[in-house]
Amino acid sequence: MDSCNGMSEKKNFLSLIVVMIVILILLAMSIMLTGCTGRVSDKSESEDSAQNDTMLSSYPEYIEVETPLGTVKGAVNGDVFVFKGIPYAKPPVEELRFAPTQPVEPWLGVLDCLDYSAAAPQVGSIEGSNGESEDCLYLNIWAPAAEKNLTDSEAGAPVYVFFHGGSYSKGAGSKPVNDGTYFAEKGIILVTVNYRLNALGFMALEETMKQYGTTGNFGTLDQIQALKWVRDNISAFGGDPKRVTAGGNSAGAFAVSALMISPLADGLFSQAVLESGCILSSPVTSPYNRGDLEKSLDMSRRYAEMFGAEDSSEGLSILRKADADFLAHNAVFSLNFIDPATYSFWPVFDGAVIPKDPLKAVKEGRIAPVKLFAGYNTDEGSLFIDEDITETDYKTSAYLMFGAQKAEKILGKFPATEDHSAAARDRDLVTMSCFRAGMMEYADKLSAMGQDVYLYHYDYMTPTLLKTGLGATHASELPLFFGNAKKLDREGETLSREMHLALVNFIMNGDPNVGFERPSGLLWPKYSQQSQGDQQSEINEANTMLFSTECVIEGVAEMEDLDFIRELMFGSGMIR
Q: Which helix (H) or strand (E) holds 192?
A: strand 189-193
Instruction: Say which residues have a Cβ less than 8 Å from residue 299's Cβ, sequence separation at least 6.
Output: 204, 288, 289, 343, 345
The torsion of the CA quartet 269, 275, 278, 283, rounded to 10 degrees, works out to: -150
Task: Go through 31-50 and write b for each residue having 16 or more CB atoms within 10 A of its CB, e for each that does not.
Answer: beebbbbbbeeebeeeeeee
Cα distances (angstroms) measured from residue 390 to each of 249, 338, 379, 421, 424:
30, 10, 19, 9, 11
197 CB-side CA count, 13 A: 34
* CA–CA separation, 560 and 573 (whole Å): 20
* CA–CA separation, 168 and 388 (whole Å): 27
If you write DSSP's letter for every residue of 22-55 in order, what string do you get?
Answer: HHHHHHHHHHHHHT-PPPTTT--HHHHHHHHHHH
* CA–CA separation, 85 and 117 (whole Å): 5
Strand partners, 453: 372
188 CB-side CA count, 13 A: 30
Cα distances (angstroms) measured from residue 320 to each of 150, 276, 345:
47, 34, 17
Count of beta carbons in the 10 Å neighbourhood of residue 55 = 18
Kindly report the backbone phi and psi dihedral angles of residue 517, in degrees, each rounded to the nearest multiple of 5, phi listed first.
-75, 125
Strand partners, 457: 376, 546
The closest alpha carbon to 438, from 486, 507, 367, belongs to 367
**Is the C-alpha dihedral spanning 430, 435, 438, 440 positive or negative?**
negative
If you write DSSP's letter for every residue of 399-458 in order, what string do you get?
Answer: HHHH-HHHHHHHHHHS---SSS-HHHHHHHHHHHHHHTHHHHHHHHHHHHTT--EEEEEE
The closest alpha carbon to 37, from 71, 70, 68, belongs to 71
* CA–CA separation, 314 and 523 (whole Å): 61
User: Alpha helix locations (H) across 436-531?
Assistant: 437-448, 463-468, 478-482, 490-509
Active site residues: 250
Instruction: Say which residues have a Cβ less than 8 Å from residue 407's Cβ, sequence separation at least 6.
Output: 395, 398, 399, 401
